[in-house]
Amino acid sequence: MNPKQIYPRKGNNGTESVYLKSVVKDPNIIVGDFTMYNDFVNDPRDFEHNNVLYHYPLCNKEKLVIGKYCSIACGAKFMFTGGNHSLKSLSTYPFPVFPEEWGLDEWKVARAWDNNGDIIIGNDVWIGYEAIIMQGVTIGDGAIIGTRAVVTKDVAPYSIVGGVPAKEIRKRFNDDTIKKLQDVQWWNWSDEKVKDNLENIINGNINKLQK
Query: CA–CA separation, 53 vs 67, rounded Å?
Result: 19
Q: Please report whether residue 7 resides in a domain.
A: no
Q: Does residue 109 lie within any of the structural domains?
A: yes
Alpha-carbon gap, residue 11 to 165, rounded angstroms: 38
Separation CA 211–CA 53 (nearest Å): 43
CA distance 23 to 196: 28
> Active-site residue 85, yes or no?
yes
- Which pLDDT score, from 0 to 100, does residue 56 have? 85
- Tell whether 69 and 162 lie within a shared domain: yes
Alpha-carbon span 128 to 116, nearest angstrom:
23
Instruction: Please report whether residue 5 resides in a domain.
Output: no
Q: Is 84 found in the same domain as 45? A: yes
With left for phi above 0 and alpha for psi between -120 and 50, is residue 78 left, alpha or beta? beta
Question: Same structural domain for residues 167 and 178?
Answer: no
Domain, as residue range, for 209: 174-211
Q: How far apart are CA 188 and CA 141, in angstroms?
A: 12
Render pLDDT for 163-208 as a digit per residue (tens, 0 to 9): 999 999 999 999 999 999 999 999 999 999 999 999 999 999 998 8
Residue 198, in any domain of the structure: yes
Q: How far is CA 146 from the centre of its chain?
A: 13
Confidence of residue 12 (pLDDT cuts 50, 70, 90): low
Q: Are residues 32 and 20 in the same domain?
A: yes
Residue 125 binned pLDDT confidence (cut-offs 50, 70, 90) = very high
**Whether residues 164 and 83 fall in one domain:** yes
Query: Same domain, yes or no, for 69 and 119?
Result: yes
The DSSP output letter for 71 is: E
Q: Are residues 158 and 188 in the same domain?
A: no
Catalytic hit among 85, 111, 148, 172: 85
Instruction: Compute the mean pLDDT over every residue in the chain, rounded to the nearest whole number.
Output: 92
Same domain flag for 148 and 209: no
Return d(Cα 204, Cα 179) in angstroms, integer.
14
Whole-angstrom distance, CA of residue 79 vs CA of residue 51: 8
CATH code of 96's domain = 2.160.10.10
pLDDT tens figures, 135-166: 999 999 999 999 999 999 999 999 999 999 99
- Determine, yes or no, domain membership for 123: yes
Number of domains in the chain: 2
Confirm whether 86 is domain-assigned: yes
Give 75-139 as a DSSP string.
Answer: T-EEE-GGG---SSSS--S-GGGSHHHHT--GGGGGGGS-----EEE-SS-EE-TT-EEETT-EE
Same domain, 155 and 111: yes
Encoded amino acid at 205, one letter: N
